[in-house]
Copies of this chain bind each other. A is one copy, B any other.
Amino acid sequence: MANAYNIAVVGATGAVGGVMLKLLEERNFLVNNLRALASERSVGQTVPFEGVDIEIEELTPDSFEGVQIALFSAGSARSKEFAPAAVAAGAVAIDNSSAFRQEPNVPLVVPEVNPEDVKWHEGIIANPNCSTIQMVVALKPIYDAVGIERIIVTTFQSVSGTGNKAIAELFSQSEAVLESGEAEVNVYPHRIAFNVIPHIEHFHDNGYSNEEVKMVNETRKIFSDPEIGLSATCVRVPVYNAHSEAVNIQTTRPISVDEVRRLMLSAPGVVLLDDPSANEYPMPVIAEGKDDVFVGRIRTDDSAENSLNLWVVSDNLRKGAATNAIQIAELLISGGMLD
């Protein structure tokens, strides 16, 4: 008989934490004991899980006794403070924040791309950034078939990546603009309703935003390829959920559009949706609520050798965050790596 596991969800009241709970149900994850952790101000709230209201417990260093898998999604500061406590208590911490992603002793794992990297974890496994995950899932089969030299990516990122406050702000701003043409601005530096903002996280001295820098560093680590060239432009758009990406790649060896389509049809986690003349291509309204990465608009770019364009859309709360984290937990279980 299969074991059941003791799970802690850190950040259980957040946008990603909520989806983690939903996914543990949906995927029939064998949960023995579930602990829903959040900051002190959420104590008194409950979250639904398998028909039961689970009471939020305050996140403290003592929260992890008996926990085998701690799913962290409460921001970098919380992860830095509490993931070591989870590891010390014997849990594996699967961390959705950026706190540990570039640590050399922390694997950065996308199960469709580098599942073998879970093996060398020392207690913490990092979940990549949402915009990176969906891109590398789509590119992995091409990378394996013909190599990838260079990636130029432009993202259309939904507000759910920022969290529940941003979801509420897009709603309230949209209502206000429809009524009066104006809206109060709180979460982002500018209005997001009926606007686009080319600014995700802080800016580095080279002019790139931190989100853009993450895409470079994380793609290189996940592919174990420090040579891969990548330049990103990351843009917030007034979409509630699911990120879209225009991805231009230069491959090492030539590959045809038909071959790429065939690769996508057999790629794990990828759904090919590429019949534009029948109005079929990936979009947020299609990807929302699904675990897959949707790929379409595959076409040759004649402006350089061995170049291609793809359009990649995925639910950033699911495959970009919660689904990927739970797939990592499933890898640990199927690999017999949990006590």
Q: Which residues of A contact B (CB under 8 A)?
A: 150-152, 154, 156, 170-171, 174-175, 178, 189-191, 194-199, 202-203, 206-209, 229-231, 233, 235, 237-240, 244, 246, 248, 257, 276-277, 279, 281-285, 296-304, 307, 309, 311
Residue of B207, B231, B239, B240 near A307 (CB, 8 A) is B231
User: A143 → chain B, closest Cβ, in Å?
Assistant: 15
Residue of B194, B202, B231, B303 near A231 (CB, 8 A) is B303
- By a CB distance below 8 angstroms, the chain B residues around A151 are 303
**A248-B231 in contact given A198-B311, A257-B207 (Cβ < 8 Å):** yes
Q: How far is the CA of A284 from the CA of B171 in the complex (A)?
A: 19
Residue of B206, B208, B285 near A195 (CB, 8 A) is B285
In the complex, are the beta carbons of A233 and B297 less than 8 A apart? yes
- By a CB distance below 8 angstroms, the chain B residues around A307 are 231
In the complex, are the beta carbons of B277 and A203 less than 8 A apart? yes
Interchain residue pairs with CB less than 8 A apart (19): A152-B152, A152-B301, A154-B246, A156-B156, A156-B196, A175-B178, A178-B178, A196-B239, A198-B283, A207-B276, A208-B299, A231-B301, A231-B309, A233-B248, A233-B297, A233-B309, A233-B311, A235-B244, A238-B238
Residue of B nearest to A202 (CB): B277
In the complex, are the beta carbons of B239 and A195 less than 8 A apart? yes
- By a CB distance below 8 angstroms, the chain B residues around A194 are 170, 174, 238-240, 284-285
Q: How far is the CA of A248 from the CA of B197 in the complex (A)?
A: 18
Q: How far is the CA of A178 from the CA of B154 in the complex (A)?
A: 28
**A235-B156 in contact given A207-B257, A207-B297 (Cβ < 8 Å):** yes
User: A311 → chain B, closest Cβ, in Å?
Assistant: 5
Q: How far is the CA of A152 from the CA of B246 in the complex (A)?
A: 10
Q: How far is the CA of A191 from the CA of B208 in the complex (A)?
A: 32
**A276-B239 in contact given A284-B195, A303-B230 (Cβ < 8 Å):** no
